[in-house]
Structure 1
Amino acid sequence: MRLFAAVLPSRVAVDELAAAVDGLRALPGADELRWTGPEGWHFTLAFMGEVDERVLPELRGRLARAAHRTPSFPLRLHGGGRFGRRALWAGAAGGLDELRLLAERADAAARRSGILMDEHRRYQAHLTLARGRADTDLRPYVAELERFEGTRWQVAELTLVRSNLPRSGVAGEGPRYETVGSWPLGRAS
């Protein structure tokens, strides 16, 4: 199964971002982008790829410890950016140091569980909104996102998500995400 550890935004944050994305989708050329849907919005902390189910019990235990060692922290959706001409994303503000720490802990939990991870890179908080082709100019969308300021929420859990790749062959269909585990941040009471 394809897995990743993530932080899921609050319902209020998703609704605010969805309203902003509606405005972006009205810009010229927006129909050429492959937009992600609100039901799949998340901050990936550690992408694990294909994971053998036999590793799951150890991974769950290690992710639980990582979550319990990390206190809850504030976050809000803020601005946005792009990765070249390929991906448009919303950014974050607030407890970015804590988010990076949680990402490092989730990555370490996966590695210690025996999951082969890609080369470790500095974590960049982003929530993917759309993907484009090599000739797509995403700068107008980034300019619009610069003004976006979401409401603060408290990140309270670490989530393990299964990514089910599309099988229908329908153009534009994206993966479906399924929560397979979640753990509260901070010490359990």
Structure 2
Amino acid sequence: MTNRLFITLDIPEDTLDEIIKTRDELYQYDRVRWEGRDKLHITLKFLGDTDYKLIPPLENMLYKVSNEFLEQKLSFNKFGIFYRNKEPKIFWLGLDENNNLIKLQKHIDEECRKLGFEKERRQFHAHLT
């Protein structure tokens, strides 16, 4: 069996409050249902459909990696909307470049490669969706 997996960063609750408040003030579309606060995240690695057998090694790897990187302060610098069929669907926030976040993403990507996942081909652009 498989599960569709992402490796993401959690966002502090007070930051989520501000994001939701700002988003709702800026984008008041009656026909748009935005994602709930529990789904807002910063993706570090998309794993895709992943065999359940790989979950324990992934958890172990992430535990080790998370201990190597201290909590970081991230700053958002821009925002926008991704559209689908000319309708606004996904609110996004761009982040200021952060070398430690880039190192974390690259480290996770490399460790995932060792577990059999493909290396990320695209350059990492940190954003919240």
Normalising by the smaller structure, the TM-score range is 0.7 to 0.9
The SS at the match of 2:5 is strand
TM-aligned CA distance change 1:105 to 1:34, over 3 Å: farther
Counterpart contact for 2:92–2:128, Cα < 8 Å: yes
- 2:60 corresponds to 1:64: no
The SS at the match of 2:75 is strand
Counterpart contact for 2:9–2:42, Cα < 8 Å: yes
Aligned residue number for residue 44 of structure 1 = 43
Structure 1 residue runs of 5 or longer lacking an equivalent are 129-189
Give the CA deviation at 1:20.
0.5
Aligned residue number for residue 124 of structure 2 = 123
- Quote the Cα distance in structure 2 between the aligned partners of 1:100 and 1:31: 37
Identity %: 30
Give the CA deviation at 1:77.
3.3
Give the CA deviation at 1:47.
0.7
Give the CA deviation at 1:103.
1.4
Determine which structure has the larger helix proportion and give its number: 2
Counterpart contact for 1:62–1:113, Cα < 8 Å: no
Between the two proteins, the alignment pairs up a number of residues equal to 122
TM-aligned CA distance change 1:82 to 1:97, over 3 Å: farther
Counterpart contact for 2:16–2:37, Cα < 8 Å: yes
Give the CA deviation at 1:33.
4.1
TM-score, scaled relative to structure 2: 0.79
Aligned residue number for residue 90 of structure 1 = 93
- Identify which range, 35-44 or 118-127, moves more after superposition: 118-127
TM-aligned CA distance change 1:118 to 1:111, over 3 Å: closer
Give the CA deviation at 1:118.
6.4
- 2:76 corresponds to 1:77: yes
Q: Tell me which of the two structures has the higher relative contact order, counting C-alpha pairs closer than 8 angstroms and 6 or more residues apart.
A: 1
Counterpart contact for 1:91–1:125, Cα < 8 Å: yes
Structure 2 residue runs of 5 or longer lacking an equivalent are 85-89
Deviating runs (4+, > 3 A) in structure 1?
31-34, 85-88
Root-mean-square deviation (CA, aligned residues, Å) is 2.2
Give the CA deviation at 1:32.
4.5
